[in-house]
Structure 1
Amino acid sequence: MPESPEVEALARFLAEEASGREIRGVDVLEFRTVKTRAAPPTSIIGRTVTDARRHGKHVELMLDGASLVVSLGRHGWMRWRDTEPLTPAADAPPALATFELSGESGLDVTDAGSWVSLGLFVVSDADEVPAIAKLGPDPADPAFTRDRFDAALGGRHKQIKAILQEQESLAGIGNAYSDEILHIAKVSPVTRAAVLDEDAADRLFDATLSTVRGAIDARLGVPIHQLKAQKVAAMRVHGRTGEACPVCGDTIRDLTFSGTSAQYCPTCQNGGVPL
């Protein structure tokens, strides 16, 4: 699942590479991706890209007079094509829409899932996209404060891992980085927000900032087709079931609960007791 560090790197790449280019052609290969039927992606032909920015896990390609918002969903991503195009690997995800840009460049919007989770919106303002309008505060934002973090937790009885992934509470974090945050904070994924003591809340806040912001810094400048691999390589516990914890050496375990899964270290996060 794309999360804020990789999506931020993607948006900054597009801001640099696509700005000033005119949209010359649009081909939608999977019409279920089109979410604004009155303003389909073909309506942006002839417009020029002026900038790109991230909203949670969404990318906004800003144009003169409109915006193309790409909701990456669970398995969505983008491929950049230029005068020396990168040949996709044989197992590369299929393009569901393609955008031809001036300067012999192009952008493919892809989805690697077995069901279409990608969404394309042509809007005058990004807040017209319902999921963006509902986004909570973003830990990558310099204006993000401890007060905003505490408000997201709010003494709720919901499990911490679920809150970290809840976009209306905290924008941009998904399954992978929530596992990493909880491991660094030494908090069990099934702990409920209401029972966190002050010390645990401090650790969780610090881990959220350091994980999200540190990963953004690490991803900037990485070619966008390598971002997923870089993310996977950087994980401490997520996707590491059966491996040794890099902190204490205990075996990383997998837990499925409440419709999600988590990888965690019993010693670091649960007093040595497997969940």
Structure 2
Amino acid sequence: MPELPEVESLSRFLADRLAGRSVARVHPVSVHALKTYDPPLTAFEGRAFDDVTRHGKFLDLRAGDLHLVLHLARAGWVRWKDKLPEAPPRPGKGPLALRVRLEEPDGAGFDVTEAGTQKHLAVYVVRDPQEVPGVARLGPDPLSGALGLADFAALLAGERRQIKGVLRDQSVLAGIGNAYSDEILHTARMSPFKQAANLSEDEVARLYGAIGTTLTDAVERSRGLALGDLKAEKKSGLRVHGRKGEPCPVCGDTIREVSFSDSALQYCPTCQTDGKILADRRLSRLLK
């Protein structure tokens, strides 16, 4: 799933290529992905893109007073094409959900795709990004510079949930998903099941620092890469997430996993749980 660093890289890549360029045609290929109908997607035709920005894990492509907002969900992606096919795409069961063709002379543009059978990609056309429910309920962005240590501590105060779930809650912090929450907790040397409200001042400060360094480093590693290389770079840069059974790069212990119905987390027992193994069940607790 694209998270804050990948969406930030997508926004920078597209901003460099779209600014000032006009839309020739918009082809909505997958109707299920379109979440708004007024204004229509065709309202972008003839308009020039002004900027591309990010709201958490949402991409925002602005053209005048209209915003094309994309949420790529678990398996969505944006694919840039220097030369799109001349024939308009046909609706079908393939991964293509949306095609945006720019004005000539080169016929460039981009496709929005979604792999797999579960379709959760979302496309919105709005005049204000706050009209998108997922954007409106976003918490502060960890890389905005507006979230200080005291603000972060206040967000955690009274949180009786496990810290892994708090980090993934978009209404608490915008942009962190399953992969980077694992990486942040490993960097902070913290159990994913530790209750957020029970963190000491030192632990809060350590976690706050880990969020900043983990996300900033991931953004910097992606800088300048082609869109097709971003997913591979993300995977290669992860130290614990998706690496069950491999040695921890810090201490050498075996990376363990806890599986849930629709996801899994990975962690290092030595670095994060004082050597204890977390029970692999939905309501996991430390084994005694």
Same fold judged by TM-score > 0.5? yes
Letter in 2 for 1:21: R
The percent identity for this pair of structures is 47
Q: Superposition pairs for residues 186-205 of structure 1, below 5 Å?
A: 186-205=189-208
- The answer as to 2:276 corresponding to 1:273 is yes
Distance 1:135 1:107 in 2: 27
- The answer as to 2:112 corresponding to 1:106 is no
- Look up the SS of the partner of 2:135 in the other structure: helix
> Which is worse superposed, 136-145 or 231-240?
136-145
| Count of residues in Structure 1 that have an aligned counterpart in Structure 2 | 268
Letter in 2 for 1:177: Y
Q: Which residue of 1 aligns with 2:259?
A: 256
Whether the aligned pair in 1 keeps the contact of 2:84 and 2:108 (CA below 8 Å) is: no
Distance 1:118 1:36 in 2: 13
Whether the aligned pair in 2 keeps the contact of 1:34 and 1:40 (CA below 8 Å) is: no
Whether the aligned pair in 2 keeps the contact of 1:40 and 1:121 (CA below 8 Å) is: no
Pairwise CA distance, 1:192 = 0.8
Q: Which residue of 1 aligns with 2:96?
A: 95
Distance 1:222 1:141 in 2: 22
- Look up the SS of the partner of 2:147 in the other structure: coil
Pairwise CA distance, 1:38 = 2.2
- The answer as to 2:57 corresponding to 1:57 is yes
Distance 1:251 1:167 in 2: 30
RMSD: 1.5
Q: Which residue of 2 aligns with 1:153?
A: 156
Distance 1:148 1:105 in 2: 44
Whether the aligned pair in 2 keeps the contact of 1:181 and 1:207 (CA below 8 Å) is: yes
- The answer as to 2:220 corresponding to 1:231 is no
> Which is worse superposed, 171-180 or 43-52?
43-52
- 1:57-102 superposed Cα distances (whole Å, 9 cap, x missing partner): 01000102311111111211100011499xxxxxxx8211101012
- Look up the SS of the partner of 1:49 in the other structure: coil
Q: Which residue of 2 aligns with 1:13?
A: 13
Q: Which residue of 2 aligns with 1:76?
A: 76
- The answer as to 2:179 corresponding to 1:185 is no
- The answer as to 2:235 corresponding to 1:216 is no
Distance 1:34 1:84 in 2: 22
- The answer as to 2:124 corresponding to 1:126 is no
Distance 2:9 2:227 in 1: 8
- 1:126-174 superposed Cα distances (whole Å, 9 cap, x missing partner): 1111110110011111222112211221231101010111000000000
Q: Which runs of 5+ in 2 are unaligned?
A: 86-93, 279-288
Q: Which residue of 2 aligns with 1:29?
A: 29
- The answer as to 2:168 corresponding to 1:165 is yes
Q: Which residue of 2 aligns with 1:88?
A: none
Pairwise CA distance, 1:259 = 5.8
- 1:178-218 superposed Cα distances (whole Å, 9 cap, x missing partner): 00000010100111112211221111111011001111111
Q: 1:221 to 1:84 in 2, by over 3 A?
A: farther
Q: So what's the TM-score if we normalise by structure 2?
A: 0.89
Distance 2:154 2:198 in 1: 15
Distance 1:202 1:223 in 2: 35
Q: Which runs of 5+ in 1 are unaligned?
A: 86-92
Whether the aligned pair in 1 keeps the contact of 2:11 and 2:54 (CA below 8 Å) is: yes
Distance 2:164 2:259 in 1: 12
Pairwise CA distance, 1:257 = 4.6
Distance 1:38 1:65 in 2: 13
Q: So what's the TM-score if we normalise by structure 1?
A: 0.94
Distance 1:251 1:58 in 2: 35
